[in-house]
Structure 1
Amino acid sequence: MATINYVLQKIAGNLFIKYDSKERENIETRIANFKVSIKDYFTNNVKDILLFGSFKRDTILPRKFDEDSDIDILIIFNQSQIEFTPETYRNQLRRFAEERYFTSTVIKSHPSVVLEMSSIKFDLVPCIVNSTFWSSSFQIPSKSGSWMETDPKGFNEKLTQANNSYNSIVKPIIRLLKRWNAFNDYPYESFYLEQLIADMNFGGDNYQTGFLYAIDKLSEYGLPEYQKKKVYTLKNNANWIQEYLKRDNQDKATEVVYRILGLYN
């Protein structure tokens, strides 16, 4: 019987920002320069700067495969003098970005400030640490304008555990489906898509069976009708992949894979 396991493995590898690549080197240089700039601007008012999100999890796509790929950065403010509202911190980050990166695009989003440069996008999230005698928690802006608790490391640990448990195929499958998601104008919010896949059971799967299983298990719940149609099309194409594999037609199955992902073979 034909297989596309190696094809999917190869594509998933190409969707990874390799550690020795110029793109990763550029990202890490920009991050280092950004940390220096923000420390210089805020001095002691910034306590720490943490990377989180898809870059930290190795599920971020190269920009050529996802123009919305961004680097999530948690800016932890020092509360030793005065505690401001979330909106005050967001405004401070916006002013910093506009002053220090005046040739770049700066947009207030939620709960962050987006700083978009020519080859990289930063998602800057203000944060405070709420400490008690027993514990401490990270707080970021909520949609209501107050603070809400978050765990910037929790999902990273969950995904790493799932990836290790299922023969290191979960993160590659996430990258494959994030490419489909980007190519189809994001039927799913990117982080939510990662969460959906991380909760799936890939016991006994390889790249091929895991990829097809993940597509089959994607939920359309809550999606608008025009986005549901994109998911239905994806599932129909996955059925055709399985049909071509049954017919021992690897070329046609591979062709459908590349069409799904908007890539050229």
Structure 2
Amino acid sequence: MFAVYNKYLASFDQKIYDDKFNSIRKFIQNNIKGAVSIVDVVKGGSDIRKSAIPGVSDMDILMVIGTKKPSALPLVALKSIDSGINTAIMNTKLSSYVGTHAIYFPFNNTSIDLLVAYGKSPGPYYIPNRDINNWIKTDPKSIKGKFFASQTQSRERLLPTIRLVKKWNSYQNIKLESYETEMKLLNIFENDDLWKSFWKQIMISWLLVGVISVSVMLWWSAPILYSWLFISTVILWSLTPFMTDMYGKAKHGYLR
């Protein structure tokens, strides 16, 4: 049942992201023609790993401007593209800006991280580094392959677990980095001891939620609505200590 439910959610979310990506690709191809020469527009980030969550995850998109290393620095290319985007959306209340290594702008209620890149399909590609003064290698297909290389029982639960943690993280002040979260969880699922400990904590938390919620409904005869609000609160409360502990271990390298 768990696998069927996750498969449905993944399929539904993927359809949403595919539609958004096609719209964004058309927008880029139609509005940035004069700024740079566009060879291709490809997906990146959690979208290709099927771990993105609509309303929570940003969309990482690679705009390929050539197969060979450009003569200009990444910053020059990014500013040129940013100018083209701002011109295209100047009649709206939206705007774009050049960040640490990408262009950020909203599109159809989704935050877009647009990275300029060069390389040959299907990769690897080269994208700007954090200082936007050089190019670094990235291989979306390789990272995706690492996720789906072996379909063990634990890996079948990897994606739904990532989605759970990402959704939880969207309500927290810790704000784990999406890619770092995925890599740490992948490491947990490749380690049997960590895997068993993780799900033991999850099951204990859900058992606690069930016992408390049933007790409340029987004792106070609380209305269903208030009961579910209480259950939701307890779920977040019960998961917080474990997730915070996992974050601390990851931050200090104990999960490497």
Shared topology, TM-score over 0.5? yes
1:58 to 50, 55, 61: 50
2-structure distance, mates of 1:88, 1:32: 21
CA shift, 1:241, in A, is 1.2
Give the SS at the match of 1:127: strand
Cα deviations by residue, 1:63-120 (Å, 9 ceiling, x for unpaired): 1xx2xx2211111112679611111111112112101122222121121001213412
Change in 2 beyond 3 A, CA 1:85/1:107: same
After TM superposition, the structure 1 stretch with the greater mean CA deviation from structure 2, 102-111 or 76-85, is 76-85
| Runs (5+) with no aligned partner, structure 1 | 131-135, 217-237
Confirm whether residue 117 of structure 1 aligns to residue 107 of structure 2.
Answer: yes
Q: Report if aligned partners of 1:17, 1:24 keep a CA contact under 8 Å in 2.
A: no
- Report the residue type matching 1:60 in the other structure: A
Q: Which runs of 5 or more residues in structure 2 are unaligned?
A: 215-227, 241-256
2:188, 2:195 within 8 Å by CA — same for their partners in 1? no
The secondary structure found in structure 2 opposite 1:105 is coil
Note the alpha carbon deviations across 1:20-66, whole angstroms, 9 max, x for none: 86x446514423422432563457x2222111111222111121xx2
Deviation at 1:189, TM superposition (A): 0.8
Aligned to 1:77: 65
Give the RMSD, CA atoms, in angstroms: 4.0
Per-residue deviation at 1:186? 4.4
TM superposition shift of 1:184: 0.5
Q: Confirm or deny that 1:257 pairs with 2:241.
A: no
* 1:7-28 Cα distance to aligned partner (Å, 9 max, x none): x985x5686460686x446514
1:127 aligns with 2:117: yes
CA contact (8 A) 2:35 2:81 kept: no
Alignment match of 1:160 (pick from 142, 148, 158):
148
Percentage identity across paired residues of the two chains: 17
Which residue does the alignment assign to 1:106?
Answer: 96
Establish whether residue 37 from structure 1 lines up as the match of residue 30 from structure 2.
yes
C-alpha distance 185-40 of structure 1, shift in aligned 2 (>3 A): same
In structure 2, the residue corresponding to 1:50 is in which secondary structure? strand
How far apart, CA to CA, are the structure 1 residues paired with 2:67 and 2:190? 44
Inter-partner Cα distance in structure 2 for 1:261 and 1:29? 36
What TM-score, normalized by structure 2, do the two folds share?
Answer: 0.67
Residue 18 of structure 1 aligns with which residue? 12
- Write the mapping of 1:94-243 to structure 2, written as runs, cut at 5 A: 94-102=82-90, 103=92, 104-129=94-119, 137-144=124-131, 145-161=133-149, 166=154, 168-201=156-189, 213=198, 238=202, 241=205
Higher relative contact order (CA 8 A, sep 6+): 1
Larger % of helix: which? 2
